[in-house]
Amino acid sequence: MPTVFSLIAGLLFGMGLIVAGMGDPAKVLAFLDLTGRWDPSLAFVMGGAIPVSAVAFALAKRRGASFLGHSIQLPNTRNLDQRLVFGGLLFGAGWGLAGICPGPALVLLGAGAGKVLVFVAAMLAGMALFAKIEPAIGNGRSR
């Protein structure tokens, strides 16, 4: 049963990304182009997502388990460390260069968009590289 709910949640998330335009790299790049032909529509998508997420996180904090009975594990740290800042910069640079972030990349891959293959391959290579070097760089705590 959890697999069915996961599939439904993933499909809803993917459809939301497509409807919002997050699967269109040109639209994302236009949103990021503040000095050119800026398209603010994705700001409205994010502006709508933040209150919904805030309510969902507030409800999750009050519950000990999900609706399916699994324990809820929310982040318990608010540390802003070097790894988080560097990771955010790297993520933002990749998003700005390609106009794609991981969620929409998987949606585009599932939709058969051939151009996204290079992005997904690079994303998987980056994840594998991080998994290999992560033990050497520590567990994320500020030094």
Residues of the chain with pLDDT under 70: 138-143
143 lies in some domain: no
pLDDT averaged over the chain?
85
pTM assigned to the model: 0.67
How many separate domains does the chain show?
Answer: 1
Measured CA to CA, the distance from residue 27 to residue 24 in angstroms comes to: 5
- Flag whether 44 is in a domain: yes
Residue 43 lies in a domain: yes
Per residue in 71-88, pLDDT (tens digit) is 888 888 888 888 889 888
Structural domain boundaries, residue 88: 2-137
The answer as to whether 80 is a domain residue is yes
Q: Is residue 21 part of a domain?
A: yes
- What is the reported pLDDT for 139? 60
**142 part of a folded domain:** no
Q: What is the per-residue pLDDT for 21?
A: 83
The answer to whether residue 39 sits within a structural domain is yes
Give pLDDT, residue 128: 93
